[in-house]
Chain A
Amino acid sequence: MSAVLPLVRVAVIAVLGWLLLLAATSGLDPYTVSIIGFVGTNIILAVSLNITNGFVGLFSLGHPAFMTLGGYLTAILVMAPARKAVMLKSLPDVLVAQQWPFFPALLVGGLFAAAAATLVGFPVLRLRGHYLAVATLGLIFIVQSFAVNMSGLTRGALGLSGLPALTSVSWVYLFAVVTVYVSWRLKHSSLGRTMLAIRENELAAACLGIRVARTRVMSFALGAFFAGVAGGLWVHLVTLISPHSFTFLLAFQLVVMVVLGGTGSITGAVLVAVVLTVATEALRPAEEAAGLFGASQMTIAVVVVLVLIFRPAGLFGSAEPNLFAWLHRGARASLPTSNP
């Protein structure tokens, strides 16, 4: 009973939040609503990357690759068969015939990304540190290469445009809430503590009987799942996908969100995701007016270096600020809310 109550509480808060959001966005023009959509997908991305990078300490730059995988599959499933027949000549008939509703298509896209992550994860995750970073970066290029060259399946470098704009603020909100919730419960669970243990000292964790490789792959796959879903959401917000939609630059931005917010802190990741996305979009007209293209990116880069110098643990370190402590009343006792 005491475990269900917080769940009910969370659900109620989530629904209230949703209604608030709907009310707030009802008067806005589509462009601003799409910005809110981007904020939401960035939250999903940052929080899911936090699971991989923050909890387990894997330095993965591979999120864009999983977004590409999830994005393409979702787009293919959602697209009308007539369009597919014209644009994607080598697509197996089974897929051409499908036209799925948005929600299941997103889930399947996410699962596809997670499956790919599991497959690739076992070999690649044997690497450590910045070698892993570069290997996962290589994944981005490898996925791009395949997307470009398997043009019968993906329309190659031309990409798929004119996709239905199915992503609404509600969908993004739903998945953002789910991602944050899953991430939260994971962190405060035994599996989450396992992950944090691996991050802190892998050898000691192994000595304690933790299945290190398996846990690492699992967190990688979980992060990839949400990345795939976020990819599907993003693609139907922008209405197009191309092999170069999700680049290394995006990987950098996501890592920045996780690092600035505090590697391991969910609240930190969410906050920085919101602030950075809003700041980039808000600065865009100013940047264009002044003709200083790239100024916002430069500023972010400088801020990152400064934060790394002066506050390397990020905004919150691995802690979650106490404002959410009241959510835990009623759940298991003695939860670690901060790490040394």
Chain B
Amino acid sequence: MTSAYILSQIANGVILGSMYALVAIGFTMIYSIVRLINFAHGDIFTIGAFTTLACIALAKLPFPVAIVVVVAAGALTGMVIERIAFRPMRGAPQVTGFIASLAVAIFLENLAVMTMSAQPRTFLVPDYLNGLVDLGLMSVRMIDLMIVLLAIVLTIALVLFVRFTKVGVAMRATAENYDVARLMGININRMIMLAFAIGSGLAAVSGLMWGSKYGQISPFMGLLPGLKAFVAAVIGGVGSIPGAVLGGYLLGLSEVLFVALLPPEYSGYRNAFVFGALIIVLLVMPNGLLGRNTEARA
């Protein structure tokens, strides 16, 4: 158990955390505005990965352009889903929306299976991202650096947007008090669309990152990361963007370190660990670390 080993595992935890954080932000944004757990979020993650593959392999676009396309594709998908499946559900009890999002998730997964077959596919990254970068104490791959940097950049951009732009403030107002925001003349539909668009765009980018890191994508790849990102959002406090980021990194780090530090026989318990942590957090800290109590949860 050398220090190099622990350092490299921490690095892995940070990378995994970056991916969880982006998806968690999306969850939290959507949740804070429409009080809906969007189960289909994980599938937008998958769509992001496949879109990247299409961009690079079929359209032969340069990687940075592909990133932009992926964000747009994710945002678009999110908006379409909102319009078709969730807007009619507004005002209905919580669970109705949840079931609707489950249905959308199943629909998307099976659509992917039908059109692209459930085969895992190789994910291609441009060669310049494959090199190793020496950081003194350890070396990481270019792609890992890119993932972390991209996550940080996007998060900062989002926080600035939400804090300082008029639209961002309007979104926060809608999240805080739906009815008063409407009374103030804010176009609620547009705010909700925007939340879905941004959240889904981020999820799509996270899918791109996941594919880049692991090299293999399949139609069901989004299910577990999506759920784990939800756990991250809850741990950090649903409704809080910094909370989602914090939760994402905490979860990524603890998941990797859990597997890394315990004897190999226990590495199979990683999912049990994640969901056990969820239940414990929900019971002990219903608002998560940074959340505010905006509804009855327990």
Contacts and interface: CB of A to CB of B under 8 A. Distances in A.
Q: Is the interface of B mostly helix, strand, loop or mixed?
A: helix
Interface in A64-99: none
A223 to B, nearest CB: 16
B298 A141 contact: no
Contact of A131 (B114, B265, B282): B282
Q: Which of A297, A305, A309 counts the most chain B CB atoms within 10 A?
A: A305
Contact of B96 (A297, A302, A308): A308
Contacts of B223: 248
A136 B107 CA distance: 22
A135 B282 contact: yes
Contacts of A127: 282-283, 297-298
Contact of B92 (A129, A142, A304, A308): A308
A298 B95 contact: no
Interface string B260-288: 00000110111110111011001100100
Nearest to B92: A312
Interface string A298-320: 10111011001100100000000
A81 B93 CA distance: 51
Contacts of B85: 305
A51 interface: no
B111 interface: yes
Interface in B11-66: 37
Contacts of B107: 297-298, 301-302, 305
Interface string A246-258: 0011001001100
A271 interface: no
A259 B297 CA distance: 22
Interface in B95-117: 95-96, 98-100, 102-104, 106-107, 109-111, 113-114, 117
B103 A149 contact: no
Interface in B66-92: 84-85, 88-89, 92
Nearest to B86: A305
A189 interface: no
Contact of B94 (A130, A142, A145): A130
Contacts of A300: 106
Given A135-B282, A249-B106, A293-B118, A144 B297 contact: no
Interface range for A: 35 or more
B120 to A, nearest CB: 15
A59 B96 CA distance: 10
A293 B278 contact: no
B94 A294 contact: no
Interface in A216-258: 248-249, 252, 255-256
Contact of A138 (B37, B84, B88, B275): B275
Nearest to B272: A145
A219 to B, nearest CB: 16
Nearest to B98: A130
B45 to A, nearest CB: 16
A107 interface: no
B106 A301 contact: yes
Interface in A281-340: 292-295, 297-298, 300-302, 304-305, 308-309, 312
A124 B104 CA distance: 27
Contacts of B110: 293-295, 297-298, 301
A294 B110 CA distance: 5
B153 interface: no
B100 A304 contact: yes
A30 interface: no
A326 B244 CA distance: 56
B249 interface: no
Interface string A122-165: 01101111110111011101101110110000000000000000
Given A59-B98, A127-B297, A312-B92, A297 B278 contact: no
B104 A301 contact: yes
B162 interface: no
B247 to A, nearest CB: 14
A312 B96 contact: yes
A61 to B, nearest CB: 9
B298 A294 contact: no
A142 B298 contact: no
Interface in B110-143: 110-111, 113-114, 117-118
A293 B266 CA distance: 36
B184 interface: no
B275 A308 contact: no
B20 to A, nearest CB: 15
Interface of A: 59, 123-124, 126-131, 133-135, 137-139, 141-142, 144-146, 148-149, 248-249, 252, 255-256, 259, 292-295, 297-298, 300-302, 304-305, 308-309, 312
Given A128-B297, A298-B106, 7 more contacts: A134-B37, A134-B234, A297-B106, A298-B107, A304-B99, A305-B107, A308-B100
30 contacts: A59-B95, A128-B296, A128-B297, A128-B298, A129-B297, A131-B282, A133-B37, A133-B98, A134-B37, A134-B227, A134-B234, A134-B278, A141-B272, A142-B275, A144-B272, A248-B223, A293-B117, A293-B118, A294-B109, A294-B113, A297-B106, A297-B107, A298-B114, A300-B106, A301-B110, A302-B103, A302-B107, A304-B99, A305-B104, A308-B92
Interface of B: 37, 84-85, 88-89, 92, 94-96, 98-100, 102-104, 106-107, 109-111, 113-114, 117-118, 223, 227, 230-231, 234, 265-266, 268-272, 274-276, 278-279, 282-283, 286, 296-298
Q: Which 6 residue pairs across A and B have the least CB separation, nearest first?
A: A294-B110, A138-B275, A145-B272, A301-B107, A301-B103, A304-B103
